[in-house]
Structure 1
Amino acid sequence: MPLLPKRFERLQAVLNGRMANLTVLLEGVEKPHNLSAILRSCDAVGALEAHVVSLKGRVRTFNSTAQGSQKWVPLRDHSSIENACQHLRKQGFRLFGTQLGVNAIDYRQCDFTGPTAFVLGAEKWGLTDTASAVVDQSIFIPMGGMVQSLNVSVAAAILLFEALRQRQQAELVPCNGEGLTPDQYEKILFEWSYPQVASWCNDIQRPYPILNELGEIIEQLPRTLKLRC
């Protein structure tokens, strides 16, 4: 069935605020509750996607905490922390690793208005020595209690919303899709609007159909193809 105009407008409104230059890189974060909560925070601030280096042999799952956020914030897999960091650096990201250490600084002293990736470690162990060595800046979140660490999903939310606050203050939060390239915008809008059609196009390696201003596909497609969101 065709996409309803109000649904299309909602998808456009959310995509208009997405930022390709804000993300998280998760190293060994496996618990469904934490993964789900982090993706929900990414969706809330407008991060386009998240990245992960998973433990070998672990099956990734999400729970109700995500509220479906994994549909809107893709989780990109990387084979190693070195490859993940190299991938992000090639895109111009500055890597901020959360850890306690002599070189770590208060996260509130950092500038997150440029391309920013927060690197967060596993729930129990934090970042590995390898990850700690490759980040650009180590940061910490000051705490006054007996326990000197936060749940990884809580730490991610604090950092992401600080980045959003700084960008709002600097008037750098996109509102008309300028946080993405035009090609990114068109591709993601179609995938959000017609996921089944997008999957069919990818399977047969053909371009996505063009949408009109109402979100309608202006092309005759096979009758057997169901047009659903």
Structure 2
Amino acid sequence: MGWRQTTSALSKKEQAALLEELLRTGVMAEEDRLLFAMLMPDRVKRMQDVLNTRTNHITVLTEGVDDPHNQSAVLRSADAFGVQTLHVVEGRAKFKPNSIIAKSADRWVDVVEHASIEEAIDQLKVDGYQILATALSEEAIPLEDVDVSKPTVLLFGNEHHGVSEQALAKADGNYVIPMQGYVQSLNISVAAAISLYDVTTRARHIVTEGYGLSIEDKQRVFKNWMVRSLPKRSLGVYKQKGLNAFERETGKSE
């Protein structure tokens, strides 16, 4: 057949129930049965479990973060805390995460690149988000006071210069992570991890409807995950049998 499956921990009955549930809930389209058949059911079940924790209620926007280590760490934190989308405005360096540091998070998190910080903030506001920048100022509120009942973007700036004046002017406000020591700043990767842990933990308990992904986003993300999980040999088979759906659905080529 062009691919090989090893033994699954799921029984045949459990595999059939998993397939039926994915189709019934709309997470998987009927046309994607081929993908399901090409993957270990245990892997598909894991993807389903993770997908059910994903959110776009909270998202991240980075502005001019140049260090690949920091790019990768923010991406990894987004994945760890269930944030599905990372918005990026490049600085002097291209957004090119280090795969070792990212731990393959770039396979599971959607990255949206914007031409400018103004365009990014304007678009996110149109999408219904409040924009909160990390910045030390008299108006800054403590992280724990961020209103997570609203769809929220956490904005992080360049490693050396922070969030730009243009971004601060367009943001809805700014916040700080309260600290007790002499040093009153954190590396962006650490600040992002602390911030995401706090806001996603609180939002999951506060937002009863709309925290998880929409069914349309679930279906799109789930299909992308299945395609990206295929071994190279299986991917070749899928490209033949799936009518080059890999490029069509994900915008990527092997």
TM-score of the aligned structures, taking structure 1 as reference length: 0.81
Query: Within the alignment, does 1:72 sit opposite 2:105 as a pair?
Result: no
- Is contact 1:167-1:173 (8 Å) kept? no
Partners of 1:172 and 1:39 lie apart in 2 by: 26
Aligned partner of 1:189 in structure 2 is 222
Partners of 1:169 and 1:59 lie apart in 2 by: 33
Out of 65, 83, 97, which is 2:133 matched to? 97
Deviation at 1:113, TM superposition (A): 2.9
Deviation at 1:144, TM superposition (A): 2.1
Unaligned runs of 5+ in 1: 209-227
Taking only aligned residues, the RMSD between alpha carbons, in angstroms, comes to: 2.4
Partners of 1:157 and 1:140 lie apart in 2 by: 13
Partners of 2:74 and 2:93 lie apart in 1 by: 21
Deviation at 1:168, TM superposition (A): 3.4
Aligned partner of 2:159 in structure 1 is 123
Deviations 1:133-155 (A, max 9, x none): 11101111122222211000111
Give the total of aligned pairs: 204
Deviation at 1:129, TM superposition (A): 0.5
Greater helix proportion: 2
- Is contact 1:33-1:63 (8 Å) kept? no
Aligned partner of 1:201 in structure 2 is 245
**Greater radius of gyration (CA):** 2
Deviations 1:55-104 (A, max 9, x none): 25636232422111111112211010000001111111111100011221
TM-score of the aligned structures, taking structure 2 as reference length: 0.74
Deviation at 1:171, TM superposition (A): 6.1
SS at match of 1:194: helix
Partners of 1:100 and 1:7 lie apart in 2 by: 44
Out of 4, 16, 41, which is 2:52 matched to? 16
Out of 195, 198, 213, which is 1:162 matched to? 198
- Is contact 1:113-1:163 (8 Å) kept? no
Unaligned runs of 5+ in 2: 4-37, 229-234
Q: Give the residue type in structure 2 aligned to 1:201.
A: A
Q: Give the residue type in structure 2 aligned to 1:192.
A: W
Amino-acid identity (%): 35
